[in-house]
């Protein structure tokens, strides 16, 4: 029994010598933080929509809803994503949502009309939003009518 304990301690010591050093104080910044979470949200909502809805139409509705949610999340706004990218993602989500709803209600013609309506409505919704900038002192602000409004 003693030999087994000593051999296991020896192998544990050898293993810790082989493993490369990893410092707990060093943080490596991810290139696209949270991107995998957004992809998982869109994929999961697409799959759920396809299972719950009627195949392709349900998948379009689920994908549109997931894309709208993923591009509007609090964490996505906090990260250094380009606001034009987020806006384009929201418009694409609204288009998918409208196309799926239109296809569910009225076939191919309904899909085209619903996609156009969804894209137009989302475009108008995102058009008048505030664009946030960062001042030299690190505070966030947005500009409306030539005046700076600081956040927080």
Other Cβ atoms closer than 10 A to 106? 13
**pTM greater than the 0.75 cutoff:** no
pLDDT at 119: 95
CA dihedral 52, 53, 59, 62 (to 10 degrees): -70
Residue ranges of alpha helices (H) inside the chain are 2-18, 35-52, 56-72, 74-78, 83-127
Residue boundaries of the structural domains of the chain:
36-150
Tokens standing for 150? 């600081």
Q: At what angle do helices 56-72 and 83-127 cross, to 10 degrees?
A: 100
Measured at the alpha carbon of residue 88, what is the angle toward residues 145 and 71, in degrees to the nearest 5? Answer: 95
pLDDT at 149: 83
Q: What is the pLDDT along the chain (152 residues), one digit of tens a residue?
A: 888 888 888 778 777 777 766 655 666 666 666 778 888 999 999 999 999 887 889 999 999 999 999 888 876 666 555 677 888 889 999 999 999 999 999 889 999 999 999 999 999 888 866 677 778 888 888 887 778 888 86
Residue with tokens 């689920």, as numbered in its chain:
62
């Amino acid at each position: 029994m003693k030999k087994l304990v000593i051999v296991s301690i020896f192998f544990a010591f050898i293993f810790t010598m082989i493993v490369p050093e990893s410092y707990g104080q060093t943080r490596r910044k991810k290139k696209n933080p949270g991107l995998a979470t957004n992809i998982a949200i869109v994929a999961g909502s697409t799959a759920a929509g396809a299972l719950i809805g009627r195949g392709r139409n349900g998948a379009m509705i689920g994908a549109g809803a997931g894309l709208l949610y993923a591009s509007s999340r609090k964490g996505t706004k906090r990260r250094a994503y380009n606001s034009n990218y987020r806006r384009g993602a929201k418009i694409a989500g609204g288009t998918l949502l409208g196309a799926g709803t239109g296809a569910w209600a009225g076939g191919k013609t309904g899909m085209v009309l619903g996609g156009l309506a969804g894209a137009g409505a989302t475009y108008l919704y995102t058009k008048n939003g505030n664009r946030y900038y960062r001042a030299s002192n690190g505070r966030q602000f947005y500009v409306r009518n030539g005046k700076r409004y600081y956040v927080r």
